[in-house]
Structure 1
Amino acid sequence: MKLVILDRDGVINEDSDEFIKSVAEWVPIPGSIEAIALLCQAGYQVYIASNQSGIGRGLLDFDALFAIHERLQRAVAEVGGRISGIHFAPDHPDEATEMRKPAPGMLKDLARRLGINLEGVPFVGDSGSDIEAARAAGARPVLVLTGKGRRTKSKLTGDDVTVYKDLAEFARTIIAQDQRPQTA
């Protein structure tokens, strides 16, 4: 199974320090929706794993979050893609469970549900908590420079993180790598 896991805010859509609380505030990053469709058309299953502490903070409710996710799903479908699943942690940071990144619970739960090992599976994020969660879950950490990505890049440690300008560049690169002839 070819699989890619994406963070949402700052990777797929513009991020906000005020949180994304409604469909009206949800604005895709240019090229991100098409990038998801390209990944799907290349045989990847695309999942989302996202902290959504706005719920725990009382800034939005589950209905508003699900409306945002429905808009995201519709946008991806309109260009020929599909999001296989959206996983989120609604925890307030002060009451974080193992599901809230940087803890690996959300990613490990996804792996358990799919019956797979995350070794080599890209987890694309824009924050330090995304990188830490990927490492802790055994996934391959990937950083995009959208959202908080530029700030995160300046604080990176280790050489295990691949960096891309945005989700579109990541998608084009991984698809091109898949198409290279395999050598024995």
Structure 2
Amino acid sequence: MTSLTAPAAVLFDRDDTLIVNVPYNGDPEAVVPMPTVRTALDRLRAAGVRLGVVTNQSGIARGIITKEQVDAVNRRVEELLGPFDAWQVCPHGPDDACRCRKPLPGLITDAARDLGLDPDRVAVIGDIGSDMEAAAAAGARGILVPTPVTLPAEVASAREVAATIDEAVTALLPRRDR
């Protein structure tokens, strides 16, 4: 499904969407972009779409990594992929009952607020069902880009699925901006 107008912003999951997932990564040197993601991000930037990242980082709550290590990894992401207009990181664990941990909508609503937007003007691209559930709960458009860790049930329940980040971006951009 393509739209007549691009969303005002696209929020990306970080691990296995923007960068190769290294569980509980606290090492900026271990950051490796997913294939073609820089080109896709640059297409959105050229179309005037603002970009953000929404990421669960439970390693902080678990004591495996520090907030400072996560921040260093996120800076490396920007060095490799260019600037993002908003970052929202959930430092909580699955049992912490926070409002921000995906699949709850807090990361998305907070990022939209930081960008001065209503969530219905935002799209979310991620690789697992909790990304799509958070998008739906926030009122944002979600596009699932499956990876080997994506469960078949998550693919089946997603409203929109794209084979690649490039395909997801093409679905979001009006024909003139593709």
Scaled to the shorter chain, the TM-score interval is: 0.7 to 0.9
Aligned-pair CA distance for 1:170: 1.5
What is residue 171 of structure 1 aligned with on the other side? 169
State the secondary structure of the residue aligned to 2:21.
coil
- Alignment CA distance shift 1:96-1:142 (3 Å): same
Q: Which runs of 5+ in 1 are unaligned?
A: none
For 1:73, which of 63, 72, 78 is the aligned residue? 78
> 1:99-178 to 2 correspondence within 5 Å?
99-146=100-147, 148-149=149-150, 151=151, 153-156=152-155, 158=157, 161-175=159-173, 177-178=174-175
The alignment-based identity, stated in percent, is 31
Q: Could you tell me how far apart the structure 2 residues matched to 1:15 and 1:113 are?
A: 26
Q: List per-residue Cα deviations over 1:144-181 (Å, max 9, x = no partner).
A: 023633x2x433455x6211112122123423x2428x
Residues 126 and 147, structure 1, Cα contact 8 Å, conserved in 2: no
* Counterpart residue identity of residue 146, structure 1: T
Structure 2 unaligned blocks of 5 or more: 1-6
From 9, 12, 17, the counterpart of 2:18? 12
Q: Deviation per CA, 1:22-52: give whole Å up to 9, x if none.
A: 1132211111122112211111100111101
**TM-score with structure 1 length normalisation?**
0.83
Give distance in 2, aligned partners of 1:30 and 1:46. Answer: 18
> Quick one: distance in 1 between partners of 2:43 and 2:69?
28
Q: Which one of 43, 48, 51 corresponds to residue 48 of structure 2?
A: 43
In structure 2, C-alpha distance between the alignment counterparts of 1:11 and 1:147, rounded to whole Å? 12
Q: Would the aligned equivalents of 2:9 and 2:121 in 1 still touch at CA under 8 Å?
A: no
Pairwise CA RMSD of aligned residues? 2.0
Displacement of 1:75 in angstroms is 1.2
TM-score (ref. length: structure 2): 0.86
State the structure with bigger RCO (CA 8 A, min sep 6), 1 or 2: 2
Does the aligned pair in 2 maintain the 1:146–1:166 contact within 8 Å? no
CA distance in 2, matches of 1:28, 1:69: 12
1:137 deviates by 0.4
